[in-house]
Structure 1
Amino acid sequence: MTEQEFHKLRFPIGEFQKPEKIDAKHIANWIETIENLPSSILNLTEKLSEVELNYKYRPEGWTIKQVVHHCADSHINSITRFKLALTEHRPAIRPYFEDRFAKLSDYDEPLDSSISILKGVHQKLGILLKGLNDEELKREFVHPEYGKIYTIEETIGVYAWHSNHHLAHIKQAITGKGKYN
């Protein structure tokens, strides 16, 4: 497999591209994507067998189960990051080792708990994000892992992309029918 083919499997929708100017339409579309993630995941996974839930989306990639559990963990962190940025001056957020989380025992369990987490977190995210004014959208946090400052508005886009990115992984794994296991 070429490096380009591997990159396409890893990033089936491409990497996040921040628009030059983020406008209200971007924000509204991104929030809608974020709000829809739990039902989109449920629609893709609810009829899958245990064997299918363990399909990988690429060589050395995660299983569908791991992807769903990761989304729950990641988006728990996202709401915390948003709230820190809204309540503190340019806080440094805490990164975590996603790859190590994916090896923990809860990632082997059924998806029910992570789907429940996603439903609750995404409902709260929708409420929180829709209520932000222009000044709040410009608030910032520091991501020490990347040494970069992110605005809330950009981060809304990143999490919408993240939602679509992992939905594409799930679809890729289903279509691949275990060929990467």
Structure 2
Amino acid sequence: MIESAAILGLGLIGGSLARDLAANGVRVFAGDRDEAAVRAAAEQGIARPLTWNEPMDVVVLAVPVVAARELLRELAGRMEGVRLITDAGSTKRSIVDAAEQMGIGARFVGSHPLAGDHRSGWDASRAGLFEGARVYLSPSPSTDADALELARELWTRVGAVPEVMDAVEHDRRLAWTSHLPQAASTALARA
């Protein structure tokens, strides 16, 4: 059972996850480049500032994909005792491969919540964002059963519907159903 979680990135996704986990009795620790977001989360009783001195069951990287890989590299040595490491990015293969290469693949499960809107930042986050939302879970080749079960629990506790999908298959499917239509609409809007 998840008792504590660190969330790095308090934007729409990370902030909403922090709100829902805290409401479900999870001790939440938060880190963000925007210190005002961390202060706001603390003042609202949602999360305590992350110091890495507390034991944590779960670490969530709720930052852009490129930043998640870099953050994973920076933090890999600090995550002793963490049972699940996950992200919330829209592509999975590169982050899953990075976790494997760093030797933390057994505890890593990539997550892609299909939730959100055009807004960003702490002020855009809200409780209930994940209610009924699908979340793709992409385990690494070495992910252990406990980590995958914790990933399911993490997202189920906030009302989401987790579905396991291989990272390569995830990226292939989402390229056609999400990323390509987004690129086309952006190009049309700019034409």
**TM superposition score normalised by structure 2:** 0.27
User: Radius of gyration: which is bigger?
Assistant: 1
Higher relative contact order (CA 8 A, sep 6+): 1
Which protein has the bigger strand share? 2
**TM superposition score normalised by structure 1:** 0.28
